[in-house]
Amino acid sequence: MITDRTQVTAMIQSAKISKGIKWSEIAVVIGQSKEWSTAACLGQMAMTKEQAEGVGKLLELSDEAIAWLQIAPYKGSLPTEVPTDPLIYRWYELVSVYGTTLKELIHEEFGDGIMSAIDFSMDLQREEDPKGDRVHVVMSGKFLPYKMY
Amino acid sequence: MITDRTQVTAMIQSAKISKGIKWSEIAVVIGQSKEWSTAACLGQMAMTKEQAEGVGKLLELSDEAIAWLQIAPYKGSLPTEVPTDPLIYRWYELVSVYGTTLKELIHEEFGDGIMSAIDFSMDLQREEDPKGDRVHVVMSGKFLPYKMY
Amino acid sequence: MITDRTQVTAMIQSAKISKGIKWSEIAVVIGQSKEWSTAACLGQMAMTKEQAEGVGKLLELSDEAIAWLQIAPYKGSLPTEVPTDPLIYRWYELVSVYGTTLKELIHEEFGDGIMSAIDFSMDLQREEDPKGDRVHVVMSGKFLPYKMY
Amino acid sequence: MITDRTQVTAMIQSAKISKGIKWSEIAVVIGQSKEWSTAACLGQMAMTKEQAEGVGKLLELSDEAIAWLQIAPYKGSLPTEVPTDPLIYRWYELVSVYGTTLKELIHEEFGDGIMSAIDFSMDLQREEDPKGDRVHVVMSGKFLPYKMY
Amino acid sequence: MITDRTQVTAMIQSAKISKGIKWSEIAVVIGQSKEWSTAACLGQMAMTKEQAEGVGKLLELSDEAIAWLQIAPYKGSLPTEVPTDPLIYRWYELVSVYGTTLKELIHEEFGDGIMSAIDFSMDLQREEDPKGDRVHVVMSGKFLPYKMY
Amino acid sequence: MITDRTQVTAMIQSAKISKGIKWSEIAVVIGQSKEWSTAACLGQMAMTKEQAEGVGKLLELSDEAIAWLQIAPYKGSLPTEVPTDPLIYRWYELVSVYGTTLKELIHEEFGDGIMSAIDFSMDLQREEDPKGDRVHVVMSGKFLPYKMY
Amino acid sequence: MITDRTQVTAMIQSAKISKGIKWSEIAVVIGQSKEWSTAACLGQMAMTKEQAEGVGKLLELSDEAIAWLQIAPYKGSLPTEVPTDPLIYRWYELVSVYGTTLKELIHEEFGDGIMSAIDFSMDLQREEDPKGDRVHVVMSGKFLPYKMY
Amino acid sequence: MITDRTQVTAMIQSAKISKGIKWSEIAVVIGQSKEWSTAACLGQMAMTKEQAEGVGKLLELSDEAIAWLQIAPYKGSLPTEVPTDPLIYRWYELVSVYGTTLKELIHEEFGDGIMSAIDFSMDLQREEDPKGDRVHVVMSGKFLPYKMY
Amino acid sequence: MITDRTQVTAMIQSAKISKGIKWSEIAVVIGQSKEWSTAACLGQMAMTKEQAEGVGKLLELSDEAIAWLQIAPYKGSLPTEVPTDPLIYRWYELVSVYGTTLKELIHEEFGDGIMSAIDFSMDLQREEDPKGDRVHVVMSGKFLPYKMY
Amino acid sequence: MITDRTQVTAMIQSAKISKGIKWSEIAVVIGQSKEWSTAACLGQMAMTKEQAEGVGKLLELSDEAIAWLQIAPYKGSLPTEVPTDPLIYRWYELVSVYGTTLKELIHEEFGDGIMSAIDFSMDLQREEDPKGDRVHVVMSGKFLPYKMY
């Protein structure tokens, strides 16, 4: 009996490693970007019935697991408030170092409000560079203004 | 006597508000992007002598404050591990929700290693959209592989 | 020199207590609801120039304080992650006890997404009741769906 | 052997997902509002014998599980002090941003005391809106004054 | 300028020590029990105008301090989640060791609900004992049942 | 194999719920107050051989479990520093709100020292009240003075 | 105005350093052991009137400071839960490494109960040793048994 | 398969309770003091082959467990930073209350440095006392001076 | 089914202890330094196919475990933010005590930037010394300057 | 009046920045390595009278500050358990990632014990490298074995 969505994530990770499948291949089956598809497999997004069945077939998941993939999961992928993994920590560090800068510049351009993390998309690409290739990430989130009432 | 770099940040914030100057105007004086310049003013980067004197003149800072601007500061701009400000929290949430996704996709593309938060640049723009303008952020960081030894 | 928005909040609290003014009276000067107006005075919203000048005149604030009221503040009004004040703790407890219930019911009605805390309004009223009057709060937040991309 | 009420919550979640049953359907069996019923299933309220047996029959729970449903549970539905799930975090953020506002306005209206989180009810509805439907929540809690003694 | 209720608590502590006044003497001026009166002086209860003026006169507080005493304070008297002072820690330890016992016995007697910490009174007396005098504390709080809705 | 006293607590809870036995009935078998007996069952006190065997017989525990009941357990019954359960939280809140009051009044009456949480007893009763029954708790702890040396 | 006992500790530290006085000399004035006397000066014990006046005269403290020395202080001398100072950390480490050992051996010898930290004395001496002198500490605390009731 | 040293500690605890063996009896088999032997069994010290085999025979441990006993374990015996068990907490409290005192007196006697928690021994005895027996603990640790370089 | 890389670390630890193999022997099979090889086995580095198969053969790991060894793991080897193990704590203490010193000296020599923890190597050797052998560690990390943009 | 050693550190930082003096120049005055000298100035080591007077003269410190420099300070140079500054964080990350590796290798070479952080020295140099200069750090700490007793 599956009692937690993280069990399904573990099943996916385990099957993916055993079968040697790539996230970009899973994304083709899901029919969305590799960013959205990976997040969905890792328990951060809910899939449609078709998407869940596609992933389930590719990774040989049980029907119960496929049912769980269609449920909005309890989100948040990190085991600690400050992530210990160096790759993920660098992103936390960017928020720590540039957090007030992002705040100041968004307010200067848009006024009081936030950038949405829900109406949001992300694209990650390799940027070739003779001094060492770079990770190039584009993020786009809708600006949501605070309203008076 | 200034005993802490955060005092200089407070002086800059206070003078900027009183004088009604914009970060983009300060960036022109510094001669770098608005992103780097804002971060530097907020105590996350060290300025050259010329940059510090330019900012000092614009905001009428004391010589002591100008000296502090040239010192590599103790970085990290947030008062708590999990930021409470909604705008900055959304960025933390992106790391929380997409952290493992970023890790998986960077490893799939580049192998084991990290995206540098030091050899890094960022550009923030308004993206016009009929359904509501968006915050468009491009981040570029050098990939640094773990090496065997 | 004011170096932090919380200093302005303290000035407002102090002047309000000394002068014996009510939040609902301040709201009239601001021209918005008592909920929004109180939050703005307590450092959670940015005022327009007219609103800030109105509050400044009523409470005899300095020009510098009035300038700070127009800046988007670093939000979050509580000194600890779990609030110690009993009144505020009850609200935290509601999130703790009913958090997963809210999540389940919103997902059941709307699908995966969130209720916005930005495009949001709140109204608090006394509800008369022979067994003891009640606090009656209506909250309304736009549903924001996660999108595939 | 069931040794913890959270195991029963997991059984309920698992059965509900496998059978494709809705919370509102479970509420009909329980005979209370969908808000109370969901909270009770998620381990935040104690059921009567009849309610527990009704849920047990609908979801095919064991007699032991049905016995546990009638016991007052150790409450608190969130795994961390600051919730990581974006939907639930928005509620935490409302407490963080509006906590002092709620405190000020309740004290202004009622004097020193609290709004009860026990003698409390909640109703959540979809509010149709051409600019995007809204989540409309009404909360009602008895005001409890501090008494002198 | 007083900007925080804790400043008034410090003034009261300081004046009380300098003048050598007892809490029981302050309670006489306030006209309530020594328990309520001490809590009120330490920033946990709001006084009436008469009570605040009485305390103010006795301890030679400023008018501004007397105004603050009449405001419902941000409650919670301890600087850390787990108190470090040995006397107060013993009370925390009682909650830690006997917390689940209190829960079980109250539920067994009353059903699901809580003992109110608002509609609550406390009386502390010396209990003479040949093997060493004892601290005898009587606490009385209204039982508040969870209700279905 | 039992490897932790908390497993025995879970066995007791589970058997008690299945068999529908009350804490006051268990206390009769143990031959101590319901307060001490409940605490002992919940892993906060060590039983004598006779007490353990009596409980073991009543709840059909294994010999190994009965052996564990006679060992002084690692005490502390709460999973988090700040308890999330509303009933137990109210007791934590009492320590938070009244902690410094208890300290001041005990010092005023007895001098520097503490109230013992070891040489301690507690009695919990229903107090009938037309405005709603009350939980009436009497606590008695030996005063232990700090000594000079 | 002194508003906190830690201010008196700072005054004592500052005067002691400026005057070049030793703790053992202060202990002579107080008339107790160097261990108790140092703890009292550092805000962990309350002095008698004579002791406080003796220390006050030696270190040229104000009358207000002398009054504060006679009050039972809010105890706990460390700024963080886990001490950062290496000397003090070693003591924390002893509790961490040997904590369960102390528990097992005291229970084996005495039964369930604790070693008092109130009815307690300590003596610290240099122990000469050809391989390097040693710190020799003797601690003596009354055993307090848990009692049934 | 044993995957963690804490599993061996649990096996030892469980066997010791079932067989009714004392720590002092285990110490005889190990051939060291009861303090060191207990710490070693509880996962804080590494045993020699002979010691491990002796303990293994006495408690009927598997060969795998005996192998683990000879490995330097990941030390630290407490589940939380601040221990919840009252007996162990009293030791934590001693560090909290007397930590700065120990620091001052060791520095006064020896200069800057620490008392070693590695080159350390401890002896715990019952001290008979007509007013109640006492726990008498002698600790001896080598003083290690900070050196200039 | 393996669902987490830490399970593979536990398998390696367990097999290594049972077989009595040394880290330096494992390093020969891997063909890298003992430092890198140990870190890789403990779940901090990703191995090549050949390295993983070599380790797998030596320690008799399953094919699934061998597959997991080739995946970039979620790094961070410690269970708590402040490590409790005395050996590892000493390293944390070095960061705590010397952290600002390292920062000052690296900035004085190189300007603003960091020492890489990715482009990094480490060598640990026994340094013989008549006063007691020493642990001699050489660390080398690339300096990465912050760049303006 | 100086009441805390951190005030002296701030004075030193402030004077050093204003006067444009290097740590290596201060080290010459102190007569020890730049590593030890910087740590001493930053409040982590105690100076001799001559060293303190030398630094005091160079940086024009008051006599009181010079007296404080000779006192063993409360050590630990970081404001948070996990450092936020990227340069210092990388060192924390090394402990996090390589902590268990250091433990395993030191135990394999030396047996159970620790590397001293007190009988310790450190040397930091620029290592020229065509692919980018490196920070080269040599650390040497005495091995201290756990002893049986």
Intervals of chain A under pLDDT 70: none
Pick the CATH number of C5-69 from 3.50.20.10, 3.40.640.10, 1.10.260.40, 2.30.42.10: 1.10.260.40
CA distance I142 to chain J (A): 4
Low-confidence ranges of chain C (pLDDT < 50): none
Report the residue count for chain E. Answer: 149
The catalytic residue among I50, I60, I93, I104 is I93
Quick check: B1 pLDDT over 90?
no
Domain residue ranges in chain D: 5-68, 86-143
Percent of chain F with pLDDT over 90: 98
**Tens of pLDDT, residues H3-31:** 899 999 999 999 999 999 999 999 999 99
Using the predicted structure, report yes or no on whether residue E90 has a pLDDT greater than 90: yes
Residue in I with minimal Cα distance to G89: I93
Q: Please check the confidence at residue D145 and state whether its pLDDT lies above 90.
A: yes
Pairwise CB contact (< 8 Å): J121 & H147: yes
Name the pLDDT band for H62 (thresholds 50, 70, 90). very high
Closest residue, chain G, to J66 (C-alpha): G18
CA distance H131 to chain J (A): 32
CA distance, residue H131 to nearest chain I CA (Å):
38
Using alpha carbons, list the distances in angstroms from residue C124 to C12, C36, D94, G62, J11: 22, 11, 14, 52, 51
Contact H148 J36 (CB under 8 A): yes
Most H CBs within 10 Å: which of F3, F77, F142, as the mutation test of the H interface?
A: F3
Could you give the C-alpha distances from F112 to E85, F145, H44, in angstroms and in order? 12, 6, 37
Q: Which of residues 59-118 of D touch F (CB under 8 A)?
A: 64, 67-68, 71-72, 74-76, 78, 81, 117-118
CATH for the D86-143 domain, from 3.20.20.80, 3.30.1160.10, 2.40.50.100, 3.30.70.20: 3.30.1160.10
H35 is catalytic: no
Interface touch C94/D139, C-beta < 8 Å: yes
Residues of I in contact with G97 (CB under 8 A): 86
How far is C3 from chain F, CA to nearest CA, in Å?
A: 32
Domain H5-68 has CATH 3.30.230.10: no
- Beta pairing, strands E134-145 & F113-127: unpaired
Q: Do chains F and I touch (3 or more CB pairs under 8 A)?
A: no
B contact residues 5-64, partner D, Cβ 8 Å cutoff = none
CB contact under 8 A, E114 and D118: yes
* CB spacing of F64 vs H14 below 8 angstroms: yes
* Closest by Cα among F2, F73, F68, F69 to F29: F69
Taking contacts as CB-CB distances below 8 angstroms, the residues of chain J near B68 are 17
Instruction: Inspect the interface and report whether the beta carbons of B86 and C75 lie closer than 8 Å.
Output: yes
**Active-site annotation holder among D18, D77, D96, D116:** D116
Q: Catalytic residue numbers of J?
A: 90, 93, 116
Active-site pick, H50, H64, H93, H104: H93
Q: Is the pLDDT of residue B57 over 90?
A: yes
Average pLDDT for D113-126: 98
Chain D: residue whose CA lies nearest to F82: D81
What are the backbone dihedrals phi and psi of residue D66, each rounded to the nearest 5 degrees, phi first? -65, -35
Paired tokens of E1: 């300028």
The pLDDT score that the predictor gives to residue A1 is: 84
C-beta atoms of A82 and I78 within 8 A: no
Instruction: Write out pLDDT tens, residues E12-22.
Output: 999 999 999 99
Q: Does A122 touch chain B (CB under 8 A)?
A: yes
What local confidence, expressed as pLDDT, does residue I21 receive? Answer: 97
From C14, C62, C96, C116, active-site residue: C116
Chain A's closest residue to J96, CA to CA, is A84
Give the span between the Cα atoms of G15 and J65, in whole angstroms.
13
Q: What average pLDDT does range G129-142 have in this prediction?
A: 97
Is residue G108 predicted with pLDDT exceeding 90? yes
User: How confident is the model over I67-111, as pLDDT tens digits?
Assistant: 999 999 999 999 999 999 999 999 999 999 999 999 999 999 999
Q: Where are the beta strands (DSSP E) in chain E?
A: 113-127, 134-145
Pair J27, J58: CB distance under 8 Å: no
Q: Which residues of chain E make contact with C20, given a CB cutoff of 8 A?
A: 67
**Order of strands across the sheet with D134-145?**
C113-127, C134-145, D134-145, D113-127
pLDDT number for residue E1: 84
- Cross-chain residue pair G100–H86, CB shorter than 8 Å: no
Q: In terms of DSSP bridges, do strands F134-145 and F113-127 run parallel, antiparallel, or are they unpaired?
A: antiparallel
- Is A93 assigned a catalytic role? yes
The DSSP output letter for J48 is P
Chosen for mutation from B80, B81, B82, B131 (greatest number of chain D CBs closer than 10 Å) is B82
Tokens of F29: 């078998």
| D71 min Cα distance to partner chain F (Å) | 8
D121 as an active site residue: the answer is: no
Domain B86-145 class? alpha beta
Which residues of B are marked as active site?
A: 90, 93, 116
Q: Give the residue carrying structure tokens 């890094």.
A: B120
Task: Give the ranges where I3-144 is alpha helix by DSSP (H).
Answer: 5-19, 23-30, 34-41, 49-59, 63-69, 86-110
Can G5-69 and G86-145 be said to share one CATH topology? no
G16: distance to nearest CA of chain F, Å?
22
Residue D113, pLDDT score: 97
